[in-house]
A and B are shown apart, each in its own frame.
Chain A
C-alpha cells in the first residue's frame, strides 16, 4: 500500500523530470564551486616563440554590449602571467611591450563567472597585428 503510494508519487514523469533537473543543478553547482577561484594562467611569446618577460597583459571584460577594462598583469622571465580574482565569463586578453607593439586580442569564453583558466596557446607578438579583418 505504502509502497505503491510512494511509487505513484515519485515515479511519474513530473517527478522524474524535475528530479533529474534538480540533480543536474546540484551537480553543476558543485563543479562550479570547485573551479571558480578566478585564476587565469598563461604565457606570452615573441614571433619566434621565445618567452617575453616584462610584458603587460591586459584583461578586458566583455559584457553584453560594452567592453570594460579589467585588470593588468606583468609577465615574468619565463613569459608567464597570472590573474587572480577575475570575475567574468567572457574576456579578451592582449599583451603589450614597449618596442614590440601589441599582440592581437584573443577572446576567451567561460562556462561560469570566475572560472579557472589555464591557457595553453601563448599570446604571441605577430608581425602585423594592427589589421584584423
Chain B
C-alpha cells in the first residue's frame, strides 16, 4: 500500500491528514470510553460518598467484591450464561441464512420478515415479551399447555430457573435477523467456482459445508460474535423492563448490578470496582474470540 513520497513535506501532510481523519472518532472514544474507564479505575480504589471528597481505600472494594458479595458472583455467572445465548443465536442465524440463500420462491419476503424484529425498540421488545410470558394470560403458556408440553402455567419471569433463559430467548429473537443478514453477506461473497471444484472432487454437501462454507464464513461469524457481545450490553434495557434483575437476583447481569449499585444505592465507588472487573472480562473474551476465529480473523485484523 505504501506510495513512496519523495519529499518529506508530503509525508508530513499525509500524516496530518491521517490524524485529522482519525480525530473525530478518537475524540468520541476518548471522552466517552477511555476517560470514563480511567475515572472508574481511580474511583474503584477510593471511598467516595456523594457529598464528600474521596479518600484512598486501596483494594477494599475488590476484597469485598470477591470475598463477600455473592450477588456479584451470581451476576458474573448470569452474564456468562447470557453470552452463551450469542453463539446459539448465531447458529440459528447461520441455519436461516443457509436456507434463505437457496434460490427459492419468496426468499426476499422471508428475509424481510426475519429481519423485522431487529429495528424494534428494545424497551418495546421487553414490553411485548413481558406480556407473552405472562403467567395468567400469556400466549406462551397457553400454547405450551395446548400442545401438552406443560400441564399448568409457568410463571416464566418469576421463576428462578426460567427467568434468565426466557430473557436470553428474547434477546435471540431480537438479534437473529441481523446475524442472518451478516452471514448471508458472507455466503454471497463465496465464489461459486469453489463449490464447483469441490463437486468435481466428489465432496458431498455436508463436507462442502465444513470444508468450504464454514471456514470462509469465519469473518462474518466473528463480526456476529462481536456484535453479540456489544448487544449483551443492550440486555440492560430488557432486564430493566422485564424483571428488574429478579426474582431474587436470578436475572441480575453485571451491567444491571452496576446500575443498581451506582444509581439505586449511590455506591459509585463500589460500582466502579465492578465496572473494572466487567471491562477485564469483556476484554479477555474478545481476545479469546479473536484467537478462536483464527488470530487476525475477519474485518478486525491488527496489521
The answer to whether any beta carbons of A and B sit under 8 Å apart in the complex is no
Residues of B in contact with A (beta carbons under 8 Å apart): none
